[in-house]
């Protein structure tokens, strides 16, 4: 008996962060996230997206309104036809990729629960059950960054992302070199032989993200100086996302692979970057691209274009958004540039049982749907 999509409810939550986040626009103490609760037959599905004014233009009250706008168009449709539901949203509502992602993830969670299958099986099957997690090195202080990197490496972490681009260039260069050194990613180590390093520390990945913070000249100075001593695996979005020509010139001058994030919103953007050599890889986020199907298509396109894939949550998504990204991470063909998760930035998660982290890896949930149980009482307590 086919199950139809029932009531779709938007829930705006303010989840306290473990520590205040300092940004150019001020200090943030909560993650403002949209949760979507979908009823379908006897099951309930959940989706999540962070408000992302600087990335997608979406603010929480508008996200709630957008869910209320599309909900009547989806309610009563067959739950089996998620592609149809996604097409219906695309036709009725321009933009709002975070809203569309949260609704689509909730539908996948519900469909997986109805069929008794995990979401990665609905996406074509899991290829990996344990995902290496990229840990942020972004304290804002060089000595703390070095200490954090050493502590995380000792704890078994294998993937690291430095935030750069917000301070003096010289300071960013020295900090990157120092963090690479403490993680064994010096040129000397590399030249001695990756296989030897590989046995001791299988594939430690270190990257940096400038979040469009540099001029072309700054970016070129950084990559040349860092590459002279260190083995940085890639640098993300050194210059403005709209300036593909500058990205291409940086990439051409850079011994380090360049990735795109802010400059990537559509398949056309990805093809444009690849065509002029502006990026060797891409950072994919569900809330930026509009959901699991869109991000999976983008990952497949990356693969066919010979580009590397990084997956990332927006700061700071809780366990629902995290689980969704893990199912995608399990299903896509290649994942060379790691997975950045952000629920560890939250003081509390909204799950009954936390996700399982060990040795720098997180387990892909195995249960039906997203494979996580939402603590609805806690959700209601954090509701706006």
CA separation (Å) from 137 to 23, 74, 157, 166?
Answer: 15, 41, 12, 14
- Residue 137 DSSP label: E
Binders in 144-183 for Mg ion, by CB under 5 A: none
* 172 vs 209, beta carbon nearer Mg ion: 209
Shortest distance, position 56 Cβ to Mg ion, whole Å: 14
DSSP string, 246-292: HHHHHHHH-SSEEEESTT-SSHHHHHHHHHTT--SEEEE-HHHHTSH
Residue 268's nearest CA partner among 298, 233, 236 is 298
Binding mask 35-74 for Mg ion (x = CB under 5 A): ----------------------------------------
Cβ-contact 127, 331 below 8 angstroms? yes
Token duo for residue 240: 């403005």
Shortest distance, position 283 Cβ to Mg ion, whole Å: 5
State how far the Cα of 219 lies from the Cα of 223, in Å rounded to an integer: 6
* 134 vs 330, beta carbon nearer Mg ion: 134
Cβ-contact 222, 214 below 8 angstroms? yes
Active site residues: 163
State how far the Cα of 96 lies from the Cα of 381, in Å rounded to an integer: 26
Q: Is 313 in the site for Mg ion (CB under 5 A)?
A: no
* 236 vs 269, beta carbon nearer Mg ion: 236
Shortest distance, position 299 Cβ to Mg ion, whole Å: 16
Q: Which stretch binds Mg ion (CB under 5 A): 66-74, 151-159, 190-198, 234-242?
A: 234-242
CA separation (Å) from 1 to 4, 38, 42, 79, 252?
Answer: 10, 19, 12, 11, 57
Dihedral pair phi/psi, residue 74, rounded to 5°: -100, -35
Shortest distance, position 115 Cβ to Mg ion, whole Å: 34
Cβ-contact 260, 279 below 8 angstroms? yes
State how far the Cα of 337 lies from the Cα of 233, in Å rounded to an integer: 8
* 164 vs 346, beta carbon nearer Mg ion: 164
State how far the Cα of 79 lies from the Cα of 85, in Å rounded to an integer: 8
Shortest distance, position 340 Cβ to Mg ion, whole Å: 8
By beta-carbon distance, which residue lies closest to Mg ion? Answer: 261
Binders in 236-265 for Mg ion, by CB under 5 A: 236, 261
Token duo for residue 271: 């093809």
Q: Which stretch binds Mg ion (CB under 5 A): 78-86, 135-143, 209-217, 314-322?
A: 209-217
* 82 vs 298, beta carbon nearer Mg ion: 298
Q: Which stretch binds Mg ion (CB under 5 A): 167-175, 202-210, 284-292, 371-379?
A: 202-210
* 249 vs 285, beta carbon nearer Mg ion: 285
User: Measured in whole angstroms, how far is the alpha carbon of residue 200 from the centre of its chain?
Assistant: 28
Q: Is 209 in the site for Mg ion (CB under 5 A)?
A: yes
# of chain residues touching Mg ion (CB under 5 A): 3
Q: Which residues bind Mg ion (CB under 5 A)?
A: 209, 236, 261
């Amino acid at each position: 008996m086919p199950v139809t999509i029932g009531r779709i409810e938007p829930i705006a939550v303010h989840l306290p962060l473990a520590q205040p986040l300092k940004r150019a626009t001020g200090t943030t103490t909560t993650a403002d996230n949209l949760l979507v609760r979908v009823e379908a037959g006897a099951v309930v599905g959940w989706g999540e997206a962070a408000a992302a004014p600087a990335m997608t233009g979406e603010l929480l009250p508008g996200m709630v309104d957008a869910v209320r706008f599309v909900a009547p168009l989806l309610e009563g449709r067959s739950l089996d036809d998620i592609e149809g539901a996604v097409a219906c949203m695309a036709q009725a509502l321009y933009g709002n990729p975070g809203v569309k992602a949260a609704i689509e993830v909730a539908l996948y969670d519900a469909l997986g629960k109805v069929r008794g299958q995990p979401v990665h099986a609905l996406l074509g099957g899991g290829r990996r059950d344990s995902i290496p997690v990229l840990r942020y090195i972004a304290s804002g202080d060089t000595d703390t960054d070095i200490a954090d990197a050493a502590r995380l490496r000792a704890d078994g972490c294998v993937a690291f992302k430095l935030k750069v681009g917000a301070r003096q260039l010289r300071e960013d260069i020295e900090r990157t070199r120092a963090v690479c050194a403490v993680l064994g990613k010096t040129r000397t180590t590399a030249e001695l032989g990756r296989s030897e390093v590989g046995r001791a520390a299988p594939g430690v990945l270190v990257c940096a993200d400038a979040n469009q913070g540099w001029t072309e000249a700054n970016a070129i100075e950084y990559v040349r100086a860092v590459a002279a001593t260190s083995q940085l695996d890639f640098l993300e979005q050194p210059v403005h996302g709209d300036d593909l020509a500058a990205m291409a010139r940086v990439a051409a001058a850079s011994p380090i692979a360049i990735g795109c994030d802010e400059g990537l919103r559509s398949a056309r953007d990805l093809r444009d970057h690849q065509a002029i050599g502006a990026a060797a890889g891409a950072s994919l986020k569900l809330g930026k691209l509009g959901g699991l199907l869109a991000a999976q298509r983008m990952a497949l396109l990356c693969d066919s274009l010979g580009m590397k894939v990084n997956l990332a949550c927006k700061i700071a998504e809780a366990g629902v958004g995290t689980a969704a990204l893990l199912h995608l991470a399990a299903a896509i063909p290649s994942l060379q540039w790691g997975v950045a998760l952000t629920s560890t930035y939250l003081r509390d998660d909204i799950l009954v049982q936390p996700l399982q982290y060990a040795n720098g890896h997180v387990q892909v949930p195995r249960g039906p749907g997203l494979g996580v149980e939402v603590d609805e009482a806690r959700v209601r307590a954090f509701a706006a």
